[in-house]
Amino acid sequence: MSDLRDLYQEIILEHSKQPRNYRAIPAANHKAEGYNPLCGDHFTVYLTLEGDTIRDVSFEGSGCAISKASASMMTQALKGKSRADAEELFEKFHKLVTGHAESNGAESLGKLAAFSGVSEFPVRVKCATLAWHTLQAALKGEQEAVSTE
Ligand code: ZN
């Protein structure tokens, strides 16, 4: 189990140092901003939605290692997925980081399982889910900034 933990920590560190899809999408048709005042995390999520499919998704901003890695892995996981897939994945991810995952929940999340340790640190749950909440706001087309508070 400690090997797995090390691996998870490595994945999170690696993504926080070199976040994927870290850029603006000038032609994005959905966009939202999210804050986590408790930690100072602040991201903008860009989304190119074509019908019901997420053609492209990216983010910009600043935050702690967990929030950045989560945003990075989220963009990787969601590209090419449908709106419904994105919602289902968020639900699973949310259960994982709040410690309510079903026994096979982590496996179906792939790399996102790296965040399972977050459930031991409730204050970090907001860091891990900020990008996801922001994405949901972008999907809904909400213009107001999302706050975890
Ligand atoms: Zn944070």
3-30 tens-digit pLDDT:
888 889 999 999 999 999 999 999 999 9
Q: How far apart are CA 61 and CA 52, in angstroms?
A: 26
Give distance in angstroms: CA of 112 to centre of ligand 1. Answer: 17
Give distance in angstroms: CA of 64 to centre of ligand 1. Answer: 4
Give distance in angstroms: CA of 124 to centre of ligand 1. Answer: 6
Give distance in angstroms: CA of 42 to centre of ligand 1. Answer: 9
Give distance in angstroms: CA of 70 to centre of ligand 1. Answer: 10
Please list all protein residues whose beta carbon sits less than 5 angstroms from ligand 1, which is an ion: 39, 41, 64, 67, 127
Q: Which residue has the higher pLDDT, 11 or 141?
A: 11
Q: Which of the listed CATH numbers 3.40.50.720, 3.90.1010.10, 3.90.180.10, 3.30.2270.10 matches domain 2-147?
A: 3.90.1010.10
Q: How far apart are CA 9 and CA 24, in angstroms?
A: 27
Could you tell me the residue ranges of all domains in the chain?
2-147
33 Cβ contact list (under 8 Å, min separation 6) = 42, 43, 44, 45, 134, 145, 146
Q: How far apart are CA 81 and CA 90, in angstroms?
A: 12
Give distance in angstroms: CA of 52 to centre of ligand 1. Answer: 30
Give distance in angstroms: CA of 14 to centre of ligand 1. Answer: 16
- Residue for token digits 């994982």? 96
Question: Among residues 111, 92, 81, 85, which one has the least CA distance to residue 4?
Answer: 111
Per-residue pLDDT at 1 exceeds 60:
no
Q: For 85-132, what is each residue's pLDDT tens digit?
A: 999 999 999 999 999 987 766 677 989 999 999 999 989 999 999 999
Give distance in angstroms: CA of 50 to centre of ligand 1. Answer: 31
Q: How far apart are CA 72 and CA 65, in angstroms?
A: 10
